[in-house]
Structure 1
Amino acid sequence: MTANANRLEVAGHSVLLTFGPGLETVAEEIDALWYHLRAADDDGATPQIRLDYALPSGDLPAGAVPLPARPEASYTISGHLTREVIRRLIGTRLLLHAGAVAHPELGILVLVGASGAGKSTASSMLGRGGAYLTDELTIITPGTFALTPYPKPVSKHDPELGAKRDLALGGLGLRPAHEAAAPAPAMVLLLERIRDEDEPEEGSSVTRVPLSEALTRIVPQTSSLWALPGGLATLAELLNSVGGALEVRYREAAELEELLRRLPPAEHAETAEIEPRPGDVVTWEDTAPAPGRIAAVPFRQALAMESGLFLLGEHGAIHLPGLAGLVWDLLADAGPLTFDQLEQLVVEEIGEHPESTALVRGTVSDLVAHGWARRG
């Protein structure tokens, strides 16, 4: 297959992209969009990531990735590259679906938010005057919390196209970070865009978020956190290192810089990592308990904190405050129990209560409904 080739250095990985006949325009666009990550002259080494693109057809070359020659093709390719980088870093780095910029006065800012929260626009705005690290994948080294830049083109929704497309950094006034690593974050921001049609009277604000809530909101924006040894504890340590996550509610990205100059006091939360006991079967296909008994579902990682427990597994994460945390902990520690045995242990821990049976039964039902306990 005759191919146009682009060689890149992306987040410490050598990349080769090739484009078959009919994709010449796409190859030129990729070369312009990723120019700042072009690799040095080919030294003959085998690339760590290789993607060979070809127009969809009945006789697609072996190993080729089908790619229609559409305006959104560059966005599709950046998605492929991001997934390939993630795949190679799982288990070694804390990986956040987040933007990151180096602001000249505020320091390294990590911007977390669900789809539609405005991460790309906020990264573009806050990155001007400093350095742009990424709008999509924040790569953090456990221990030091140093960031590995991933300054991909900025992906934004194009109203005319009706889909996302990639934009060159130069056209947005952004300077990509060229260092192999950036310092640890100064702030972790949870972005919440205020939409006038939903909340016309609400004003912009910056508030500290309790650790349990921050973990609940950030864990879904991570990649395979359970596969990183001590990953949950690492995320909690990162949040403590910046004085707690900040919820930033805003209307326009232009407000952000001024909002971040008036921060609430830092907060820190004590945590203790809970290790699975030797011999625990940490899989979700574990054998169900015997009839009449209740068992805690195995977990990957867990933290004890003042507000209760925070559990992480392959199927999700949950904060278990108060009684819910106690009930799960008793089930995990004592093994499958009958309801009467469980209630007796709860009473021994926190004392008698006239509604103890109803409270414990309701807590068990909630744990089972959320997939963190099983009934036999």
Structure 2
Amino acid sequence: MESIIAIEELINQTQKQIDLQNLQLQRHYSGEGKLSSLILASTENTLEVATNQLNKYNKILKRLLGEDGEKLNEEYRLRIASKRKRYFDTQDSRIKANKEHSSDIKLAAIRILGELPQEIELDDEDLFEIAVKSAHLTLPELNELSKLLDTIRVEFNSQLEKNKEEDIKQIATLDYLIPIVILHFKILRDNISQSIHDKNLHNQELLKEGKIENFEKKKFSTWPKYQDWWVRELWVSHQAYFSLFKWKEIINKQCQTTEQKKAWSIIYDRWITIKKLLNDKGTLAFHYHYVFDKLIEKYAKLEEEMDEEKMNNIEKIYLKLSEKEDFEKNSNFHNIITPYYKYKKSK
């Protein structure tokens, strides 16, 4: 029995090694990642050895399953069946605790799990793949979001109409983008809140089952407040940039899943672009700017800090933090030769 499990593990490991070598060779011959002559020869040799090993392991497994009699085969099947039963018995809990998918995707996965006939079992990966597609095709939810976007857009345009004398034709292209950014901010907030709620429920279940002794109940109530001068002085002050950097980092930590972090990165880029453009327009765009701020506060609960004492205190805190910061440190993907640079140079 142990021999079968061990040989299967060897097969899995060897197959992964073969896949890796094939990928390296594919990148080399496509020109995407050239290998030196020495490394190329080593890779090809490793691939040949691994392929021979895989063939050998498969032959051994075939003999074990075919020649050790029905008893061994039946024992193996029973053990695998028991293992799979435990896997599927705990599938619901694993889905709820998953950190890589949003709460919407997890809810879709749980719904699908509940709809499956008893004789149909799907692995987590397959279940999430179907759930992602299902979530993307959830028309009622899309209709609700579409209606909300229309509501925000109407309210935004209505607020702008109250101050027609301002000449803001140069920034009229933002009329379309701003309601979308407001909606995305709201969706992100709702998504984070739901993720935290789901985690609390999951931990409560674990507590009842005696699997954990205690847990700290999390709560998402507010975004950290930003300050207008950070945007106004963005490209002329290291402190302004650093303050925005730390503010963005705090919200990133509030995100519960990888998907939420990616969404926040995109939303932030759009938000700061709009804020900087409006800020640079000065008094000309004050009302336009104000409408944007008030609507994003209304729908997404994102607020600007208006308490001067708190503003001064935060400035002092960030100043102390900046003194400890290593400004010589680059990102983990730092490279002066960017993909676009290579593309542009090749033209």
For the aligned pair, the TM-score class normalised by the smaller chain equals under 0.3
TM-score normalised by structure 1 residue count: 0.24
Flag the structure with more relative contact order, 1 or 2, with Cα contacts below 8 A and sequence separation at least 6. Answer: 2
Normalized per residue, the structure richer in helix is 2
Of structures 1 and 2, the larger Rg is shown by 2
